[in-house]
Amino acid sequence: MQSDAIAIFGAGVMGRSITALALGHGVDVVLIDVSEEILQNARADIAQQMRHGQFMGAFPESRAAGTLTTTLSAADAVDASVVIEAITEDAQLKARVMAEISAIVPAGIPLITNTSGIPVAELAKSVQRPAALAGVHFMNPAYLIKMVEVIRGPQTGDEAMTAILSFLERLGKKTVVVRDAPGFVTSRLLHPMINEAARVVGEGTASVESVDQLMQGCLGHPTGPLRTADLIGIDNLVDALRLLAERTGNSTFEPCELLLEKVRQGHHGRKTGRGFYDYGEVLS
Ligand SMILES: NC(=O)c1ccc[n+]([C@@H]2O[C@H](COP(=O)([O-])OP(=O)(O)OC[C@H]3O[C@@H](n4cnc5c(N)ncnc54)[C@H](O)[C@@H]3O)[C@@H](O)[C@H]2O)c1
C-alpha cells in the first residue's frame, strides 16, 4: 500500500540534506544507499542537520518531525509517494539506477532527479514512464536554501509537474521552473565561475582567501566561489564540469588542474575535512 513516506536514493551530501528538509517538514523518509557504513554516518549527520535546521527556524513548529528509515534495499522504495534520486553524478550509474527505480515504483508516482546538470531528457530514456520524471535541483544545504530550480523535461507530464510543485510547496520551497539543458541555469552559471576561480588561484594571481574576499566584498557573493566549492564537494564539481563540457561541446567547462589535483589528493571539501579550506571535522 502506498504510504506518505518519500524515498531518497543516495545518502551523500545532498541525500542527507534533502532528508533533513523532509523530516523537518513532517515527511517520513526511506533513505537508500549502498553501504551500511554510509547510512550509519548519514543518520548521525542528519540528526545534526535537524538540530541546526531547528536552531535556524527552518522547520514549521506546528508539525512533528517525520521518521527516518535507512536501508540497503532499493525495493523498500515501493510504497513511496515521491522518489528522489540523489546518487553520484555519473550518467551511466544514474541511468542504471533510474531504470531500477522505475521498475520498482508503480505508475502515478513522481520521480525526481537531483542531478546538477545531466539533461532530464537523457535520464528519461532509462525510465518506463518518462512523463513522471522531472529535475529538482536542490541546493546545499537543502533544509536552509529556500529556492529550488525545477527542470521540466520535454516529456515531463502535467500530472507529475503538479504533484512535484505541490510536494515542494509542502517542503516550504519557492520554485522557478526552467527548460531542460545541460547544467540547466544554476550549474551552467555557477560551475564555470568556480572553475575560473580555481584557475585564478592555480595561475598564482591571488590566494584562495583573496578570491573569496573579493567575490564577497565587491560582488555580493554569499560565501565566495571556493568556499562554495568546498560545500558542494570538489569531486562532485569535477564530475559535473566534465558532464557539462561533454554535453555542451564547450571545452572551457573542463575542470581545471587545481580542481583535479584536489580530487587526486582526496581533498573534496567539507565532507572530507579539507578542500580549499581546512575544517578539521570529517562529515562523511
Ligand atoms: N553537492 C551539492 O552541493 C549538490 C547540489 C545540487 C545537486 N547535486 C547533485 O546531487 C547528486 C548527489 O550529489 P552528492 O553531492 O550528494 O554526492 P555524494 O558523492 O556526496 O553522494 C552520493 C551518494 O550516492 C550513493 N550511491 C551511489 N550509487 C548508489 C545506488 N545505486 N543506490 C543508492 N545510493 C547510491 C553513494 O554511495 C553516495 O553516498 C549528484 O547528482 C549531484 O550532482 C549536488
DSSP result, 67-110: -EEEES-GGGGTT-SSEEE---S-HHHHHHHHHHHHHHSPTT--
Cα–Cα distance measured from residue 267 to residue 246, given in angstroms and rounded to the nearest whole number: 24
3-state helix, strand, coil in the chain (%, to 5): 50, 15, 40
pLDDT digits (tens, 9 = 90+) for 236-252: 999 999 999 999 999 99
3-state secondary structure of 7: strand
User: What's the gap in Å between 98 CA and the centre of ligand 1?
Assistant: 13
Which grid coordinates belong to 259?
580542481
Check residue 52 and give its pLDDT: 97
Cβ(101) – ligand 1 distance below 6 Å: no
Check residue 69 and give its pLDDT: 98
pLDDT exceeds 80 at position 281: no
Check residue 280 and give its pLDDT: 85
Q: Hunting for cell 545531466 — which residue is that? A: 118
Closest atom of ligand 1 to 235 CA is 19
User: What's the gap in Å between 33 CA and the centre of ligand 1?
Assistant: 10
Mutate to test the pocket of ligand 1, among 33, 35, 88, 139 (most ligand atoms within 8 A of CB): 88
pLDDT digits (tens, 9 = 90+) for 16-38: 999 999 999 999 999 999 999 99
Return the CATH architecture of domain 186-272: Orthogonal Bundle (1.10)
Residue 129 CB neighbour total at 10 angstroms: 18
Length of the chain: 284
User: What's the gap in Å between 29 CA and the centre of ligand 1?
Assistant: 16
Residue extents of the structural domains in the chain: 6-179, 186-272
- In the predicted model, what is the mean pLDDT of residues 168-172? 97
Fold for 6-179, please state it: Rossmann fold (3.40.50)
Closest atom of ligand 1 to 284 CA is 20
pLDDT exceeds 80 at position 74: yes
Nearest protein CA to atom 28 of ligand 1, as residue: 87
